C-alpha cells in the first residue's frame, strides 16, 4: 500500500507540487487514520497534508482524480448488472456479492460461470487452459484490472517519457499478462477445428482485442500522469542551457515562463533585507530608551545596526541585431525581480544611448521590448558613442551604491573605444559588471575591444544562457551588500 502512496507522491512532484519526505510520512499516517473507505474524505485529508498553496491544491485535485481512477473494463453484452457492483466495490465490499459469484479463480469448474450463463452452458466441456484466457472469459473485471495494474507495474509503465513509447508499453503489459499463452491457445484451437473449438477461439480473440484496447487506454492515462509534466521539465531544463541567440520566437513564451520561475526563486532567497550589526558600537540612544523600563539599569544593550541597501542597478543593453536576444532576457530577468530590485534603470543603445526605464514602467514587458527594439535596434554598434552619451545623461546619478551592468559583445566596428569613460564609471560606482555573450576566446578577435574594457570592470562574465543569467543576477543580489 505504501508503494501506491509513494507513486502518488511522485506523480504530485511531476505536477510541480513540492512534497518533502516528511510530508510523505505525514500522508502515510493520515492514511492510517482516514482509511480508504471514503474517497472524498481521503481526498480532502491528503490535500490538507500534501498541498500547501491554493495553486497546488488545484493541481492536487486533478492529480488525485486521475491517479485514483479505475479503468473500467467495458461490460460484455451478456453480462448481468449485478457484477457491476462487484466490480465497483472492488476489494472493499466483498461480503455480499462475493457469495453470489464464486469468482472464477478458485475452483476449476466454476470458472466461466460469472461470465455468461448461457455461453458456459454449451461450452461446459471446453474451457480455456491459459491463465489469461480463463480470466478473460470469467468476466471478473476486478480481477482483470488488478492483473493489468500488476502487469503495468512489472513493465514499469510509470517510466514512460514520450508518447511514441505508448505502443511499446501496451505490448509489454500485454506480454506480462500472458498474451503469448493466449495466442498459442487460440491458434491451437483454430487448427484443431470443430465448431465448439472454433467458437471458443473466436470468443477468446474478441476478448483479447477488447483487452488490448483497454490496455492502450490504461497506458494513455499513465502517460498523461507521468510523462506529460516530465516532458515539460525536460524542455525547461533544455531551455535553461541553450544559447539564447539560438532561441526562436515560438520559444519565447516558454522561456518567459522559465525566467519568471527563476526570478521567483531568487526573490524568495533574497527577499529578506539583511542587517549588519557593527558589534562593538553601542547605540546609546536605543539602549537608554529600551532600558527605561528597568529603572535605567542597562540590562539589555543595543548595538548599532545598519540596514543593507538593495543595489541600485543601471543596466545598459546592446540591442543591435547580434545581441538583442540576450538583452531581452536580461531585462526580462531584472524586471521580474521588481519586488526586490525596485530601482532598475535601463538603457538601450546600438549607437546612440537612450533611457528606456519609462517604457518598462508603463507597458508590459513584450510591448516595451518591441518598442525598445524599434527605437534603438538599428544602426551599427558604437560603444564609444554609447559611453559618451552615458556620461552626458547620467554620470551624475552614479554614486557608490550604483551597480552598472553592461551587456554587449564589445564589437565596436573599429571605432574609438573611449575606455577612459568606463574607467570613470568604474571609479564612481560600486560595481561595473560586463556581460559578454561571446565565448572568451573571441573576446579579442577582430573588432572586439574587450581587452580595453575588461580592466575597467569589476567583473567580466561570459553570459549566453539562462543559467548564466541566473547566476549573474543571483550574485548581484548576494554581494550587493
Partner 1 sequence: MKPSPSFAFEASAVYRLPLAAGLSKQGPFVTIKNHDRLTSVEVIQDNFEKRGYICNPQIATAVFLAYHLEKPILIEGPPGVGKTELAKTAAEMLELPCIRLQCYEGLDESKAIYEWKYGKQLLYTQVLKETLSEILEGAKGLTDSVAKLHEFGDVFFSEDFLEPRPLLKALKAEDSCVLLIDEVDKSDHEFESLLLELLSDYQLSIPEIGTIVANPDRKPLVFLTSNNTREISDALKRRCLHLYIPFPDATLESRIVHARVPDVPEKLRTQLVTFIQELREMDLKKVPAISETIDWARTLILLHTESLDSELVRQTLNVILKFQEDIETVEAEIQNVTNKALKQ
Closest CB to partner 1 among residues 264, 451: 264
Alpha-carbon radius of gyration of the chain: 35
Backbone φ and ψ for 37, nearest 5 degrees, come out as: -65, -40
H or E segment to which residue 169 belongs: helix 166-176
Contact range with partner 1 by CB under 8 A, out of 39-47, 180-188, 347-355, 449-457: 39-47
- Our CB check for partner 1 shows the closer of 153 and 205 to be 153
Least spacing, CB of residue 65 vs partner 1, in Å: 11
Binding to partner 1 by residue 306, rule CB under 8 A? no
Q: Determine the Cα angle at 47 with ends 225 and 44, to 5°.
A: 115
Q: Is 154 in the site for partner 1 (CB under 8 A)?
A: no
* Residue 479 contacts partner 1 per CB under 8 A: no
Q: What is the distance between the terminal CA atoms of the chain, rounded to a whole angstrom?
A: 51
The answer to whether the CB of 134 falls within 8 A of the CB of 206 is no
Asked if 39 is part of the footprint of partner 1 (rule: CB under 8 A), the reply reads: yes
Which string of DSSP letters, residue by residue, matches 39-69? Answer: HHHHHHHHHHHH--SHHHHHHHHHHHHHHT-
Instruction: State in angstroms the smallest separation of the CB of 210 from partner 1.
Output: 18
**Alpha helices of 111-160 — where are they, by DSSP H?**
117-122, 131-138, 141-154
DSSP letter string, 87-126: HHHGGG--HHHHHH---TTSSTTTTTTTT-HHHHHHTTT-
Coil, helix or strand at residue 382? coil
> Residue 196, interface with partner 1 (CB under 8 A)?
no
Question: Which is closer to partner 1, CB of 129 or CB of 268?
Answer: 268
- Taking the C-alpha atoms of residue 223 and residue 205, their distance in angstroms, rounded to an integer, is 27
Span near partner 1 by CB under 8 A; candidates 23-31, 230-238, 315-323, 394-402? 23-31
For residues 363 and 360, give the distance between their C-alpha atoms in angstroms, rounded to a whole number.
6
Query: Which grid cell is 154?
Result: 512489472
Q: Per CB under 8 A, which of residues 76..135 are in contact with partner 1?
A: 85, 88-93
Report the C-alpha gap between 225 and 1 in whole angstroms. 19
The verdict on 292 binding partner 1 (CB under 8 A) reads no
Residue 175 is placed in which grid cell? 506480454
CB of 125 to partner 1, least distance (A): 33
- Report the residue number, 245 or 291, with the smaller CB distance to partner 1: 291
Judged by CB under 8 A, does residue 422 bind partner 1?
Answer: no
Q: Is 430 in the site for partner 1 (CB under 8 A)?
A: no
CB of 26 to partner 1, least distance (A): 7
List the grid coordinates of 385.
558613442
Nearest distance, CB of residue 263 and partner 1, angstroms: 13
**Residue 217 interacts with partner 1 (CB under 8 A)?**
no
Given CA atoms 194, 196, 201, 205 in this order, what sign does their dihedral have? positive
Binding region for partner 1 (CB under 8 A) out of 24-32, 176-184, 206-214, 340-348: 24-32
- Choosing from 191, 295, 364, 441, the residue that interacts with partner 1 (CB under 8 A) is 295
Find where cell 502487469 sits: 151
Nearer to partner 1, 52 or 452 (CB): 52
Residues of this chain, 251-280, that bind partner 1 according to CB under 8 A: 268, 271-272
Stretch that binds partner 1, among 16-24, 309-317, 431-439, 473-481 (CB under 8 A): 16-24
Rounded Cα distance, 250 and 162, in Å: 21
Binding segment for partner 1 (CB under 8 A), chosen from 15-23, 301-309, 355-363, 431-439, is 15-23
φ, ψ (nearest 5 deg) of residue 464: -135, 15
Footprint of partner 1 (CB under 8 A) = 1, 3-4, 7-8, 18, 20, 22-23, 26, 29-41, 44-45, 47-49, 51-54, 57, 67-71, 85, 88-93, 142, 145-146, 149-150, 153, 268, 271-272, 293-295, 297, 299
Amino acid at each position: 500500500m505504501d508503494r501506491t502512496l509513494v507513486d502518488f507522491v511522485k506523480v504530485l512532484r511531476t505536477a510541480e507540487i513540492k512534497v518533502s519526505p516528511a510530508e510523505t510520512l505525514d500522508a502515510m499516517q493520515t492514511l492510517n487514520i482516514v482509511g480508504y473507505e471514503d474517497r472524498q474524505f481521503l481526498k480532502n485529508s491528503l490535500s490538507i497534508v500534501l498541498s500547501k498553496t491554493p495553486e497546488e491544491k488545484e493541481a492536487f485535485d486533478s492529480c488525485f482524480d486521475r491517479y485514483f481512477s479505475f479503468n473500467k473494463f467495458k461490460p460484455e453484452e451478456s453480462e448481468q448488472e449485478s457484477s457491476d457492483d462487484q466490480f465497483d466495490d472492488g476489494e472493499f465490499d466483498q461480503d455480499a456479492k462475493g457469495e453470489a459469484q464464486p469468482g472464477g479463480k478458485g475452483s476449476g469448474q466454476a470458472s466461466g460461470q460469472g461470465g455468461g450463463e448461457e455461453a458456459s452452458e454449451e461450452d461446459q466441456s471446453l474451457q480455456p487452459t491459459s491463465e489469461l484466457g480463463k480470466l478473460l472469459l470469467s468476466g471478473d473485471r476486478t480481477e482483470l484490472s488488478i492483473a493489468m495494474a500488476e502487469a503495468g507495474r512489472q513493465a514499469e509503465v510509470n517510466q514512460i517519457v514520450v508518447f511514441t513509447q505508448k505502443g511499446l508499453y501496451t505490448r509489454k503489459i500485454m506480454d506480462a499478462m500472458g498474451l503469448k499463452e493466449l495466442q498459442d491457445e487460440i491458434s491451437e484451437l483454430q487448427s484443431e477445428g470443430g465448431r465448439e473449438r472454433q467458437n471458443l477461439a473466436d470468443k477468446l480473440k474478441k476478448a483479447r482485442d477488447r483487452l488490448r484496447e483497454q490496455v492502450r487506454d490504461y497506458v494513455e492515462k499513465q502517460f498523461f500522469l507521468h510523462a506529460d509534466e516530465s516532458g515539460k521539465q525536460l524542455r525547461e531544463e533544455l531551455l535553461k542551457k541553450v544559447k539564447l541567440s539560438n532561441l526562436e520566437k515560438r520559444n519565447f513564451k516558454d522561456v518567459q515562463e522559465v525566467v519568471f520561475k527563476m526570478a521567483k526563486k531568487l526573490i524568495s532567497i533574497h527577499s529578506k533585507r539583511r542587517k549588519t550589526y557593527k558589534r562593538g558600537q553601542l547605540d546609546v540612544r536605543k539602549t537608554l530608551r529600551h532600558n527605561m523600563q528597568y529603572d535605567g539599569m542597562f540590562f539589555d544593550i543595543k548595538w548599532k545596526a545598519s540596514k543593507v541597501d538593495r543595489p541600485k542597478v543601471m543596466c545598459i543593453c546592446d540591442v543591435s541585431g547580434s545581441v538583442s536576444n540576450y538583452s531581452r532576457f536580461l531585462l526580462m530577468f531584472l524586471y521580474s525581480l521588481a519586488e526586490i530590485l525596485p530601482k532598475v534603470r535601463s538603457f538601450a543603445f546600438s549607437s546612440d544611448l537612450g533611457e528606456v526605464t519609462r517604457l518598462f514602467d508603463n507597458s508590459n514587458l513584450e510591448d516595451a521590448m518591441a518598442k525598445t527594439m524599434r527605437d534603438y535596434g538599428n544602426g551599427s554598434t558604437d560603444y564609444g558613442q554609447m559611453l559618451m552619451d552615458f556620461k552626458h545623461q547620467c554620470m551624475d546619478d552614479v554614486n557608490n551604491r550604483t551597480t552598472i551592468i553592461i551587456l554587449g559583445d564589445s564589437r565596436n566596428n573599429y571605432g574609438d573605444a573611449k575606455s577612459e569613460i568606463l574607467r570613470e564609471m568604474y571609479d564612481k560606482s560600486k560595481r561595473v559588471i560586463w556581460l559578454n555573450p561571446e565565448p572568451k576566446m573571441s573576446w579579442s578577435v577582430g573588432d572586439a575591444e574587450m581587452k580595453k574594457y575588461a580592466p575597467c570592470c569589476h567583473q567580466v562574465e561570459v553570459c549566453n544562457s539562462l543559467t548564466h543569467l541566473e547566476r549573474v543576477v543571483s550574485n548581484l543580489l548576494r554581494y550587493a551588500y
